[in-house]
Amino acid sequence: MPWEQSYGYAQAVRVGDTIWVSGQLSHDNEGNIVGPAPVDAQGRILDHGNMRIQMAQCYANARKVLAQYGATLANVVEEVLYVTVAGAVRAEAYGGRPVVASTILGTPRLAFPSTVKMTRSFLSKTRRRSRPG
């Protein structure tokens, strides 16, 4: 991802059997925002109608990053979502009701205010998660 050099971070880092994945934006392989939201002169989002497109791209990006470490969304044990408006694409991405520890935070603005509507962060283990009982 071109932003790694510009902003000095890694898409993911493995420490032992834990993979720490940076927040994923709705970008393509060249760093272009997929489904950018229209904004006003102050950078405020005018229409949140592209949330589904952006969330789907974020999950696609997360899958790509996890695959580099031999992991999938099935290995995710925690996620943090930062959204400008709530959306309902999570069940589709996980193939049913997500069974992960989650935090969803609403915010009026994200890293790229003129184009980004949603980002997410993962903590993923390389082994399968389990539920108590």
Summarised one tens digit per residue, pLDDT across range 30-85 is: 888 899 888 889 888 888 788 888 888 989 999 999 999 988 888 888 888 877 76
Q: What is the pTM assigned to this prediction?
A: 0.78
Fold category of 3-125 in CATH: 60s Ribosomal Protein L30; Chain: A; (3.30.1330)
Q: What is the DSSP letter of 45?
A: B
Burial class (CB in 10 A: 0-12, 13-18, 19+), 127: exposed
- For residue range 97-108, what is the model confidence (pLDDT) as tens digits? 777 777 777 777
Query: What are the sequence ranges of the domains in the chain?
Result: 3-125
Query: In this predicted structure, what is the pLDDT of residue 68?
Result: 92
Q: pLDDT-derived band of residue 131, with 50, 70 and 90 as boundaries?
A: very low
Cα distance between residue 24 and residue 7, in whole Å? 14
